[in-house]
Amino acid sequence: MFPPQIQFALSTLSRIPYENLSKVIKFHVEKDVRKALRSPEELLREHRATGTGGTCFSLTWFLWKHLEAQGLRVYPALCDRTYGKNTHCGVVLEWEGKKYLLDPGYLSFTPIELNGQGGVTVETVYNKIELLPEDTGRFALRTVYGGETKYRFTLKDTPVTEQELLAAWEDSFLKEAMKYPVVTMLKGDAHLYFQKETLYVRRKGGSERHRVDKEQMPATLERVFGINPKVTEQARAFF
């Protein structure tokens, strides 16, 4: 249904963790927000070397630039969350007369149709994602897990310029989420999510919670996510 470039790009990103360790490290090393923005080449190079990934902005930038270079009709779009406007982003694909959300920053590796006439539901390995139309050009994304439905963000289906996306990316360095470690990815039938000092493992059959002391963080993040312990040790000094 979709061109092979889409499937290849999303498959590649599914093996790269969402994480803010590398973002925090570069910000503190460069001491300049603009210099702390990581290019697609840098993101991929560092992933291969140390197992790191990126947050929604760097992952979206990677996907947008890659697919655009392949000649596909794609553009970045910003999203509003409960704690702020333009705090999330994704890529919108135009294909065969329809539009689809590509959202690697929310671990969505299946294109989700933007259907203004009704909601769309996508099954993942552990939950359901619902994308529902609100006003014209606005779609609310919700997740369903363990019988509980949660609102996550509202996508604004309006193409933004490169400068607008960069401005939102730069603002993200000042958000609360830069004050504690976050790492997450899908692996097999599980959603793995680490925040602060807790590792959550969610499957369709239920979830587990494991406390991780700071001393255990480097070894745990290497074992679970494949991140080089030296990265975690360096990032730990900034949280």
pLDDT tens profile 161-199: 999 999 999 999 988 889 999 999 999 999 999 999 999
Nearest Cα neighbor of 154 from 128, 123, 131 is 131
pLDDT digits (tens, 9 = 90+) for 60-77: 999 999 999 999 999 999
Q: Which residues pair with 148 in a beta bridge?
A: 145
Count of alpha carbons within 13 Å of 157, Cβ hemisphere only?
24
Question: Residue 125 to residues 83, 106, 130: CA-CA distances in angstroms?
Answer: 27, 14, 14
pLDDT (0 to 100) of residue 177 = 84
Could you read off the pLDDT of 99-121 as tens digits, one per residue? Answer: 999 999 999 999 999 998 889 99
* Domains of the chain listed by start with CATH number: 4-236 (3.30.2140.20)
Question: Which pLDDT does position 43 carry in this prediction?
Answer: 96
Task: Tell me the C-alpha distance between 92 and 80, whole Å.
Answer: 15
Cβ count within 10 A of residue 228: 17
Q: Do 203 and 186 contact (CB within 8 A), yes or no?
A: no
Cα gap 163→102, rounded to integer Å = 20
Confidence (pLDDT) at 160: 97
Q: How many CB atoms lie within 10 A of CB 23?
A: 25
What's the mean pLDDT in 83-101?
Answer: 96
Which of 211, 195, 217, 174 has its CA nearest to residue 86? 174
Mean pLDDT value across residues 26-54: 95
Contacts of 115 (CB under 8 A, 6+ apart): 131, 133
Residue 1 is predicted with a pLDDT of 81
Dig out the tokens for 40 from the structure.
Answer: 């697609």
Cβ pair 19, 183 in contact under 8 A: yes
Query: pLDDT for 24-34, tens place per residue?
Result: 999 999 999 99
Residue 93 has pLDDT above 90, yes or no: yes
